[in-house]
């Protein structure tokens, strides 16, 4: 057998072994799953109001750079004697760079927001009738990793909400606030903690 063929038989398995070790080491650095809780502050521009709430997030890390995640937040502060203000559900992608102790990411997450105090011309004279609208959350994320199994996270983003013609909020029962922009921009800040496994 030629010397070059013998070298190939020796070098190729060693190269494959080395690559598999590197791959295993890379997989050790990034936990595949994250489950977290968070506090959220949302400025709803169309009703000139600031809402705060709590929620949960599930993240699946595809690799060090890209993850998919689902997040739900409830804003419980009621208006006009109601029980809830709004509920938000988002699902989308986070992409960026992860370092040893921190990560910097961009996010794009479409979803839905249900308002309990949003009136609609489609359902006139009904108070506390939930209305659901499309939302899109776009922004940035900074994560800090105190250790391998925990993460602290801060999100800052624009939660864009698409209203329908004739939508209005209740400032008081007898004073509706019409929605002026059917596509509204709303600042949202989220601070959370996650377990990584």
CATH classification of the domain holding 182: 2.40.160.20
Rounded to two decimals, the pTM is: 0.80
Q: Are residues 82 and 46 in the same domain?
A: yes
35 lies in the same domain as 16: no
Q: Which residues lie below 8 Å from residue 86, measured CB to CB, with a gap of 6+? A: 44, 51, 75, 113, 114, 115, 116, 117
Q: Which residue has the tokens 């502050």?
A: 41
Query: Lowest mean pLDDT: which of 5-14, 33-42, 67-76, 147-156?
Result: 5-14
pLDDT confidence bin for 14, thresholds 50/70/90: low
Judged against a pLDDT cut of 70, whether residue 19 lies above it is answered with no
- Please tell me whether residues 56 and 1 are part of one structural domain: no
Q: Are residues 61 and 138 in the same domain?
A: yes
Q: Domain check: are 94 and 183 in the same one?
A: yes
Q: How far apart are CA 152 and CA 139, in angstroms?
A: 17
Q: How confident is the model at residue 7 (pLDDT cuts 50, 70, 90)?
A: low
- Are both 129 and 88 inside the same structural domain? yes
Check whether residue 61 and residue 91 sit in a common domain: yes
Residue 32, CA distances (Å) to 60, 91, 134, 136, 140 in order: 6, 17, 29, 25, 21
Task: Give the residue from 66, 113, 130 showing the smallest Cα distance to 92.
Answer: 66
Radius of gyration of the chain (CA): 24
188, pLDDT greater than 60: yes
What does the alpha-carbon distance between residue 75 and residue 54 come to, in Å, rounded to a whole number?
7
Residue 17: which domain range? Answer: 1-30
Q: Are residues 16 and 92 in the same domain?
A: no
Residues 6+ away with beta carbon under 8 Å from 54: 37, 38, 39, 40, 73, 74, 76
The string of pLDDT tens digits covering residues 59-118 is 999 998 999 999 999 998 765 445 568 999 999 999 999 998 999 999 999 999 999 888
80 three-state secondary structure: coil
- Count of domains in the chain? 2
Over residues 156-171, mean pLDDT:
91
As beta bridge partners, residue 155 has: 141, 190
27: confidence class by pLDDT, cuts 50, 70, 90: very low
Q: Are 34 and 56 in contact (CB under 8 A)?
A: no
Strands of the 118-119 sheet, one edge to the other: 118-119, 168-172, 175-178
Do 11 and 49 share a structural domain?
A: no
Residues 23 and 45 in one domain: no
Same domain, 18 and 37: no
* Cα end-to-end distance, the chain, whole Å: 49
For residues 55 and 24, membership in a common domain is answered with no
């Amino acid at each position: 057998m030629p010397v070059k063929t013998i070298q190939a038989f020796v070098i190729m398995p060693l190269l494959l072994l080395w690559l598999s070790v590197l791959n295993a080491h890379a997989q050790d650095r990034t936990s595949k799953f994250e489950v977290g809780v968070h506090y959220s502050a949302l400025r709803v521009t169309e009703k000139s109001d600031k809402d705060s709430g709590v929620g949960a997030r599930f993240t699946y890390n595809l690799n060090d750079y890209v993850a998919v995640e689902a997040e739900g937040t409830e804003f419980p502060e009621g208006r006009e004697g109601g029980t809830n203000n709004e509920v938000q559900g988002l699902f989308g992608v986070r992409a960026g760079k992860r370092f040893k102790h921190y990560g910097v990411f961009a996010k794009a997450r479409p979803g839905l927001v249900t308002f309990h105090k949003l009136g609609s011309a489609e359902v006139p004279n009904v108070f506390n009738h939930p209305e659901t609208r499309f939302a899109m959350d776009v922004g940035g994320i900074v994560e800090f990793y105190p250790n391998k199994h925990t993460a602290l996270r801060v999100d800052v983003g624009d939660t864009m909400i698409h209203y329908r013609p004739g939508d209005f909020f209740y400032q008081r029962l007898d004073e509706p606030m019409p929605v002026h922009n059917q596509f509204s921009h709303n600042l949202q800040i989220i601070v959370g903690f996650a377990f990584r496994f």
